[in-house]
Amino acid sequence: MNREDIEFQGEGDATLRGWFYPAKNTSACAPVVVLAHGLSCVKEMHLDDYAAVFAEAGLNALVYDHQNFGDSDGAPRQEVDPVLQYRDFRNAITYAITRPDVDASKVGVWGSSFSGGHALMVAAIDKRVKAVVSQVPFVSGSGILRRLIRPDFIAHTRAALGGDRLHRFAGGEPTMLPVVTPDPTAQAVMPATEAYEWFSKTSADRAPNWKNEMTVRSLELAGEYEPGSYISRIAPTPLLMIVAGEDAVAPFELALDAYEEAREPKQIIVTRGGHFDAYSGPGFDECSAAARDHFVKYLRA
């Protein structure tokens, strides 16, 4: 698959880097789908596989690393700022539509996990978007934290957040927290066993630049993020939501509740398996085909 290394300006003048996959089997300018990844992830973690499927269907595809992660610039490193990230999603759209091979009137956005929430936000507030796919989405920071942080850890977590604020205020370096851990009782951003197994395997096989750490402040910022509250504003942009029926990382009940608030046109697919099954094997085939068909229907028709 031919692809082009790209870079564009993000928020705060940071340079963001990624790949552009040209649409196959077309000589005219084609629609574009902008893709971004989940919490702490880098583009090598199967974003390229989704982009290749879309390109084969005659859609340009643009993937990139979030600011502070992977090949993109930005500091503090390994810090997730959801507002910064969804604004950079919009900057990626702006870059894409300036390209001569892109039809600026036909833009799609695809996001998975944490960026599944970004896709909802961007589609709601940026009407350049004409189709959206939100896969195993993060829809409520407060809802997820209530489910993922054990009750006996809440006081310790609050103390850690307060201590980190004081430490940074005094000029100290950000406190770091593991993204995943082999011990499900230990503190981590995603303590689920399936998260540890997926990140360990995927980083070893294809993403050696992924780092198993995030700033403690990332947890605080993510907990304040409520992209699902914008979902009713997406219409009339067509929405496809893909939910994993056994998702313990971004609890599927939250996604189902959010979907009920969305307006037509909308479609939901509930797949078997957990949060990470969409990135390989039969789960990838099902999810990528559904997303491809959604974008082809609404962007190429």
Domain regions of the chain by residue span: 4-148+224-300
Judge residue 38's burial from the number of C-beta atoms within 10 Å of its C-beta, 0-12 exposed, 13-18 middle, 19 or more buried.
Answer: buried
Average pLDDT over residues 196-213: 97
**Percent of the chain whose pLDDT exceeds 90:** 81
pLDDT at 226 over 70: yes
Q: Which of the four pLDDT bands, split at 50, 70 and 90, describes residue 42?
A: very high
Q: Which of the four pLDDT bands, split at 50, 70 and 90, describes residue 163?
A: confident
For the ranges 24-38, 89-103, 177-191, 244-258, the lowest mean pLDDT is seen at: 177-191
pTM over cut 0.75? yes
Exposed e or buried b per residue across 138-149, where buried means at least 16 C-beta atoms within 10 angstroms of its C-beta = bbbbebbbeebb
Looking at residue 149, its pLDDT comes to: 66
Task: Quick: pLDDT tens for 16-29.
Answer: 999 999 999 887 89
Beta-strand runs (E) in the chain:
4-9, 15-21, 30-36, 60-64, 102-112, 129-135, 176-177, 214-215, 239-244, 266-271
Looking at residue 289, its pLDDT comes to: 98
Task: Quick: pLDDT tens for 102-139.
Answer: 999 999 999 999 999 999 999 999 999 999 999 999 99
For the ranges 158-167, 239-248, 260-269, the lowest mean pLDDT is seen at: 158-167
Looking at residue 157, its pLDDT comes to: 74
Looking at residue 117, its pLDDT comes to: 98
Looking at residue 1, its pLDDT comes to: 62
Rounded Cα distance between 48 and 32, Å, is 15
CATH 3.40.50.2300 fits 4-148+224-300, yes or no: no
pLDDT at 266 over 90: yes
Exposed e or buried b per residue across 51-67, where buried means at least 16 C-beta atoms within 10 angstroms of its C-beta = bbbbbebbbbbbbbbbb
| DSSP 8-state secondary structure symbol assigned to residue 293 | H
Looking at residue 91, its pLDDT comes to: 98
For the ranges 45-49, 58-62, 157-161, 297-301, the lowest mean pLDDT is seen at: 157-161
111's tokens: 């996001």
